[in-house]
Structure 1
């Protein structure tokens, strides 16, 4: 008689949103993930439930803040960390912060929609100084405006994204870069003009472990359309990395 299979390890997926985004963009994912993988959205200061708090002015400041929040909410067997665009930069710096302070790091870092940390997006530089009306139009054209948000209702949203853009444009990674000790999985949209196929493998300069790049259909905000795919990938990575840990 064969022994029953061991239950899957309980894994947490901590998620950091894009510039202008909030933890709410990841909450619908909970319906697409298996029971043993808990989706844990992290809320940067200045938005959502933390809208009364001052914005971070530096990426490393935001990273230290969210790393402390992550440490307080750890209760699985292990965890993975995901960030989209600006969230990818913050997530990378979170792993740096955790490693420098001797705290438990993730099984893997998932970077979505972001070239390696030393690049600034041409689109972001181009729109940074636009008037609010033009910025709103640009964000609408790339799918970056929350559904149902009209220009008349967008002052708070634009205030958030302006602060996030200033923080990202002021960011420069350490030289030489801190090479984290976890594998990096890079997700990119096939129609995303803010990432470049020849640059994405360059995340290898930021880790001592493997880097892989996967393309999914969609533009810059492709990630939010693929929760089931991300769930299956995280489940597979979690199982593989548990076996090789």
Structure 2
């Protein structure tokens, strides 16, 4: 995969046949920076974060609020850079829905599919969103939701200037997420679901229903932490994720 594409700004471009690639899709309000520490060439897996319009290296572009339009553009760009090497999909929260739908479109249109889909911190696509916040609510409600999810440092939440910059982008992602329309399709690949035990919107009992959207194998794994357990566990989680991709012994970081 030669990544000269704005959708993939931090790919390592490692041309090694035995190195698996993991395409990563971030949570609402995030960017590729959520996975930046995973993109080092020192790891035995190549992590390739996807940058959506309107954030990170694409901040000058308007955010997208149509899920179907996003998937259409994403698939068109992804198909240009996929080659013969094995690849996997990983999605956290909103990114889990994007990863699932992208995997289905690749499978349905091109007969190409990732080795597996790993989803973290999101309910299965056939179920309604349990989140109490909706994009039409006030900035105060959105701030309350961010505090509830406990993924944003207090010093950022308390900084009015920063939040005035971030809130429109985060609200736009909620609109994008709300526009997703699951149409009953299934994948033919294994799905691995990672759930935070204290994640009220996506705990293990909620995430178990990802098993119903694939004809492949399903595995559910619970972790200590809330919605942002991925960031909270840090290198411990990354090591276990690498292990899942390589199907080998735990990789020591």
TM-score (norm 1): 0.83
The structural deviation recorded for 1:227 is: 4.4
Tell me if structure 1 keeps the 8 A contact 2:91–2:99.
Answer: yes
Check 1:184–1:166 CA distance in 2 against 1; reply closer, same or farther (3 A cut).
same
Check 1:204–1:27 CA distance in 2 against 1; reply closer, same or farther (3 A cut).
same
Check 1:197–1:119 CA distance in 2 against 1; reply closer, same or farther (3 A cut).
same
2:194 partner SS: strand
After TM superposition, which residue ranges in structure 1, 4 or more long, deviate above 4 angstroms?
none
Aligned to 1:9: 18
| Partner residue of 2:113 out of 99, 105, 108 | 105
| Partner residue of 2:230 out of 214, 219, 223 | 223
Aligned to 1:62: 70
Aligned residues: 231
Tell me if structure 2 keeps the 8 A contact 1:59–1:93.
Answer: no
Tell me if structure 2 keeps the 8 A contact 1:110–1:186.
Answer: yes
Aligned to 2:85: 77
1:203 paired with 2:179, answer no
1:120 paired with 2:110, answer no
1:130 partner SS: coil
1:9 partner SS: coil
Check 1:232–1:196 CA distance in 2 against 1; reply closer, same or farther (3 A cut).
closer
Deviations 1:87-126 (A, max 9, x none): 1001000001111221532111111101101223333x43
The structural deviation recorded for 1:13 is: 1.1
The structural deviation recorded for 1:166 is: 1.4
1:51 paired with 2:64, answer no
| Partner residue of 1:238 out of 235, 238, 245 | 245
Unpaired segments of 5 or more residues in structure 1?
A: 1-6
Deviations 1:128-168 (A, max 9, x none): 44321342233133223367522321123111111111122
Aligned to 2:36: 27
Provide the C-alpha distance between the structure 2 equivalents of 1:28 and 1:82, rounded to a whole number of angstroms: 15
Aligned to 1:171: 180
Check 1:109–1:130 CA distance in 2 against 1; reply closer, same or farther (3 A cut).
same
The structural deviation recorded for 1:169 is: 1.7
Tell me if structure 2 keeps the 8 A contact 1:201–1:213.
Answer: yes
Q: Which has the higher contact order (CA 8 A, sep 6+)?
A: 1
Aligned to 1:4: none
Unpaired segments of 5 or more residues in structure 2?
A: 1-15, 249-253
